[in-house]
Structures are given as structure tokens and as C-alpha cells.
Amino acid sequence: MIALQASVIARAVEGALVGDDVLVSGSVQTDSRLVEPGDVFVAMPGEVTDGHRFVGTAVAAGAALVVCEHPIDEAVPHVVVDSGLAALQALAAHVVAAVREHCTVVGITGSNGKTTTKNMLQAILERHGETVSPVKSFNNEVGAPMTMLRATSSTRFLVLELGASREGDIASLVRLAMPDVSVVLKVGLAHAGEFGGVERTQRAKHEIVRDLPETAVAVLNRDDDRVAWMADRTAARVRWFGLDAGADVAPDTVWASDVASSIDGTSATIHRGDATWPMTLRILGEHHVMNALAALSVADELGVAIPDAIAALESMVRAERWRMELLRPETGVVVINDSYNASPDSMAAALRTLAHVSRTSGARSVAVIGAMTELGESQVEEHDRVGRLVVRLGIDRLVVVGEGAKPVHDAAEHESSFGQETTYVETQEQALALLRATLEPGDVVLVKSSLSAGLKDLGDAIGGVA
């Protein structure tokens, strides 16, 4: 965080300073276990516990200032506020406003691909100046402000993931750090259960461009009709990206052709105007080309030469831990561990990748599937679709793990062409024993589920990760 006097922080968060007006230049933390000397600790009530219980731990670790919702009995300056969360957000807005002259803010949303696109932009932009982007998937009302607060006096690019669990969430984050460039990747069924349907998801996602000024830029996926709908609902200048060039493609549209994938990565030809460039990603999955197009569009908008941006993307070893992560254990199998997140769209994309790379390499394909969460009333129907897709794609073996994913097994079993090649087990331990007993060298194994299903550890186990 930029250096601030405690009195300035108190004014920014509309709180009352108790104690000395110290200068604070450390990080801002909401977890006392992460506090280091000179940091600010923001105590907030949470779903599991109350941060005020750990003020003493934070002070013992060297916190220079505490932001809290009631006076504390600790020998440390503290700012008393009505709401710790509101104070965190207000302080984040203050920091972004303070660095605005030298820092460009990029916001990213979408039902799928936010974290991968964020990582791609980090890889590109960090070669051209200090770049701050979220740790993991910090994209909610706490995580996004925490990312904003990491901006310093030398930060040139601030990349934000903006997620939502209800309408209005993204709008509130946009108000904290009005992006100079906003990206919308896709509107799908991820979290549709929380929103109450894909139409509400669409409205929620469009909040990232709805209130942008004319000086801002909206980078939109022209292949997704629900995203394209947003172009007429923003004052910002619109830039497009996609796989479908179309007859009316604008000169600044970044698009791709000749997309192909293998077990070693994904290739495409990138176009903008009359110029073309080859691109070969080490990241597995044709669907990641769309994320790359979004990142390249932003980079181009910010003045980074597209060949330089492509070179940065080609240097990436993986999208992120447990996201289409390729593992090659000594057993001779190939494991694609994609168990950090799952939606109907990302599940279908991962299964298509498995089918394609297995077919082109002549390997046996094995899909290990856990539950997709937050789908609401469509939970059973969407899992049923996955099971039928496995059959249509000709995947050789299906292992379904956990009660929440059982409709995947049931649907595949009902397809006569699949026969005995689908197995349902209740636990990861059962799945691990089964896979260790039946996998053969050369098999390509996809492990795919939502994070809460916990299959990331199963993927690591068969992938040889300690």
C-alpha cells in the first residue's frame, strides 16, 4: 500500500483515530496470521469467526494500526469505524484514487476464464511496469479491495477480477476503482443458481461496463450474444475479440483462426486488421484461446505490441494451479488436473479437450468427474448433460465421484453405447484406489470438479504431486 498517515486513513474510512498519528506503509491484512511489522490489520466479523478476537495476535505480530468496529484494549493506534468491511472498501477506493495518475486499472469479469485471463495479463504487463493482480481468485467484496490496496506509488497496472454472487456486487466494486478498461469474457451458467437464472447473470456481469465513462474502453467477446448485448449499454468505446471474424470486423478487433490443440499445448493464428501472428501456448485447451484474445486486446489497447504480448503468453507454463494443469507422473499416465472450478461451460470445454488430445495421440481417455456447484434448480439437469456429453465425445472411461455428481454416472450408464465403462464411487479414497488399480501408461486422465468437491487432491495424487 502507499504510505499514509493514520489520520488520513481515519478520514478516508470515516472513522475516529485513537492514539498516535503514525505513518503506515505496510500491507493491509484481514487475517491476523498474515500480519507483518508495519501492517494495517482490519478486524471484521466473518461467517466463521470475528476478526476482533485476533487483534492481540495482529498487534503481537507488529501491526502498526488496527481498524476495528469498537475500541480495543491494546497499545496500538486504532481507527474505530461502524463497519470493518465498509472501511476496507473505502480505504481501497482512496488508494486507487491516489495512484490513478500513473496507474491504469483493468477490470475482468465473466462466468469462466477470469483467473486465467488475469494471469495472462500479469504475464504480459509485468514486462512493461509494476503490475498488481489478485492472489488466486480474490474477486469479491473483500478480495477485490485487498488487491486494490496492494497498489503502490510505482504501480503502473492494476488488474482486478470482479466476481459476483448477486446483482449489484460488481457495480459496488466498479464504484471503488472505476476501470479504464473493462473486459467481459462470457456469460454462462456458472453461479446461475445464486443469481436465479442466466438472464440475471447477464445483468450482473454487465455492471462492469454499464457505468463506464466515455473515456473508458469495454473489451467484449463478440462470439457470445449475451456479452455482445452489452455494447449498446455502455458509454465506453467498445473493442471486440473472438474466433468469428465476421464480415464487419472492426480494424482493432483481435481474433483467432486455425485453433488447434494437442497434449503439448494450444496453437492459433492471431489477427488484427491486416496483420497476423502465430501463437503457441503451453496451456492446454482450445477454450484458453479466447482468454488469450481478451488479454491481447487489453495489451494492444495499453500500447503493448502484440508480438511482445504473444511472447509473454507463450512463456506461461500453466494457467494456474489446478486449472488445466498438466501433470506427467512416473507411472506414465498424463493427468489434466482442472479441479479448481467447474461450470457447465468449463466442464464441456475440458471434456472436449480430453477427447481431442486423446484421439490425436491415440491414448485412452479417462474422465474423473466431481460435482459442479451453485447451479440451483438446474443442478441435476446440467450434470445429466455432462454424462451424455461424455458418451457423445467417445471418452473411454468415466469415474464419477460423490453424491452431487451421481447424475453424470446415471446419464452415461443409460446410454447403451457406454456400457460398463462408467463407475460411481462415493469417496476420493475409493476413486484413488480404483484409478491406481486400472490406469495404464499412456492414459490421459482429466480430473474436473468444483473446488468444494475436493478433487484437486485426487488429481495431485494420481499426478504424482506430493
Lowest mean pLDDT of 81-95, 157-171, 410-424, name the range.
410-424
Residue by residue, what is the 3-state secondary structure of 332-382?
A: CCEEEEECCCCCHHHHHHHHHHHHHHHHHHCCCEEEEECCCCCCHHHHHHH
CA distances, 256 to each of 80, 288, 375 (Å): 53, 12, 31
107 backbone dihedrals φ, ψ, rounded to 5° = -110, 140
Alpha-carbon span 260 to 390, nearest angstrom: 20
Q: What is the mean pLDDT of residues 15-40?
A: 97
**What domains does the chain contain, in order, with CATH numbers?**
4-82 (3.40.1390.10), 100-314 (3.40.1190.10), 325-462 (3.90.190.20)
Confidence of residue 192 (pLDDT cuts 50, 70, 90): low
**256-313 confidence digits (pLDDT tens):** 999 998 888 999 999 999 999 999 999 988 889 999 999 999 999 999 999 999 999 9
Lowest mean pLDDT segment, chosen from 61-75, 88-102, 388-402, 408-422: 408-422
pLDDT at 213 exceeding the cut of 80? yes
Whether 157 shows a pLDDT value over 80: the answer reads yes
pLDDT of residue 23: 97
Residue position matching grid coordinates 469474457: 185
Proportion of the chain above pLDDT 70, given as a percent:
97
Ordered strands of the 397-401 beta sheet? 325-327, 334-338, 444-448, 365-369, 397-401, 422-425
Of 309, 316, 333, 328, whose CA–CA distance to 265 is shortest?
316
For the chain, what's the residue count?
A: 466
Determine the pLDDT at residue 388: 94
pLDDT, one tens digit per residue, over 433-449 is: 999 999 999 999 999 99
- Residue 46: the pLDDT is 83
Are the beta carbons of 43 and 84 closer than 8 angstroms? yes
In three-state form (DSSP H/G/I as H, E/B as E, the rest C), the secondary structure along 134-150 is CCCCCCCCCHHHHHHCC
Binding residues: 110-116
Query: How many Cβ atoms from other residues are within 10 Å of residue 275's Cβ?
Result: 9
What SS3 state is found at 317? coil
Q: What is the pLDDT of residues 64-103, one digit of tens each?
A: 999 999 999 999 999 999 999 999 999 999 999 999 999 9
Gap between the terminal Cα atoms of the chain: 35
pTM for the predicted model, two decimal places: 0.87
Phi, psi at 340, each rounded to 5°: -85, -30
3-state secondary structure of 438: helix
Nearest to 103 by CA among 135, 124, 133: 133
Tens digits of per-residue pLDDT, 139-153? 999 999 999 999 999
Other beta carbons less than 10 A from residue 98's beta carbon: 16
Q: Which three cell numbers mark 287?
A: 477454450
- What's residue 416's pLDDT? 60
Q: What pLDDT score was predicted for residue 320?
A: 80
Q: pLDDT class for 417, splitting at 50, 70, 90?
A: low
pLDDT-derived band at 420 (thresholds 50, 70, 90) equals low
pLDDT at 431: 97
Distance CA 71, CA 77 (A): 10
Give the model's confidence band at 454: pLDDT under 50 very low, under 70 low, under 90 confident, else very high.
Answer: confident
For residue 137, give the C-alpha cell: 481468485
DSSP 3-state of 252: coil
Given a contact cutoff of 8 angstroms between Cβ atoms, the answer to whether 343 and 111 are in contact is yes
> What pLDDT sits at residue 419?
55
pLDDT at 339 (0 to 100)? 93
Indicate the annotated binding residues for ATP: 110-116
* Cα 378 from Cα 356, distance rounded (Å): 27
Is the pLDDT reported for residue 190 higher than 60? no
Lowest mean pLDDT: which of 3-12, 66-75, 193-202, 386-395? 193-202
Mean pLDDT of the chain: 93
Amino acid in position 116: T
Residue 336, pLDDT > 70, answer: yes
- What pLDDT does 248 receive? 77
